[in-house]
Amino acid sequence: MQRRSRGINTGLILLLSQIFHVGVNNIPPVTLATLAVNIWFFLSPLKPLLGSCLSVETCYQQKDWQRLLLSPFHHADDWHLYFNMASMLWKGINLERRLGSKWFAYVIVTFSLLTGVVYLLLEFALAEFMNEPVFRRNCAVGFSGVLFALKVLNNHYCPGGFANVLGFPVPNRFACWAELVAIHFISPGTSFAGHLAGILVGLMYTLGPLKKIMEMCAGYSRYQDYYPHGMPGYSEEVPRDYDAYTAGLSEEEQLERALRASLWDRACHQVQLAAGCKAVSFSTSICQPGACVLVKAGNPC
């Protein structure tokens, strides 16, 4: 597959414009670093997409485990980068303020690895149970899986209220599942397994043992849910005037607005991508029916 065109990267320009509109000084450090890493790898990729995307065939069967590290931070084109990083910008501001920078950085690293692992397990299970080897070759890149996991955390911390999904009010606790289906109704070529993997990792953190395991590994003895600005004893510079980029909205209102914008953005992005299939396949043809997977567009929350 050919990497993005070398023309004007409109998505990248819009992303940088949004970052500067928010204000670099108003973006918490880990969120800002995550944005910077993704932009850097977009401009200077370590490998082409076929060398960085994640699949059972390339990662597990060929033992190319570095793809677990590379795939979340590589994107198919500038719009793919824009939608993912615009989502990361707003979720990062909310979650890093709540969890503290150290723990949020730990969450990002853990989720980046685990979403890839769960994605491989899902694709392997589908290949075995359905006897369809194509699932072993489905190859995905992008930060979308991590964003779905962070979406679960957002909904966990703000369980009340409703999200508007395709014009229907959906309780926040079910918004991830409704949006998972809605995305693939609007854009059926995106990686369903990749997004589902993100939801499962998020649930492992909020409802399962993942958070306790992370705390044990980090040497923490308490949950951080109860500390809006991080663990006791850990101080950091937190901007106080958040109205500059929240428009005075509460956290719940920000999330609901972002969820509505998410579906609108993806619908527009789908129209832009309708003219061509950005696909990755390890068969002889770039995109054979049933044997390719779109290098998926982002998923803002």
**Which residue among the candidates 144, 187, 191, 281 is catalytic per the annotation?**
144
Angle between helices 10-22 and 29-43 (to 10 degrees): 160
Strand 279-280 and strand 168-171: the pairing is unpaired
Nearest residue to 295 via CA among 80, 149, 86, 132: 80
Q: Which two tokens stand for residue 258?
A: 């972002």
195 catalytic residue (yes or no) = yes
**Which residue among the candidates 74, 75, 80, 195 is catalytic per the annotation?**
195
**C-alpha to C-alpha distance for 215 and 88, rounded to whole angstroms:** 23
| Residues forming the active site | 144, 195
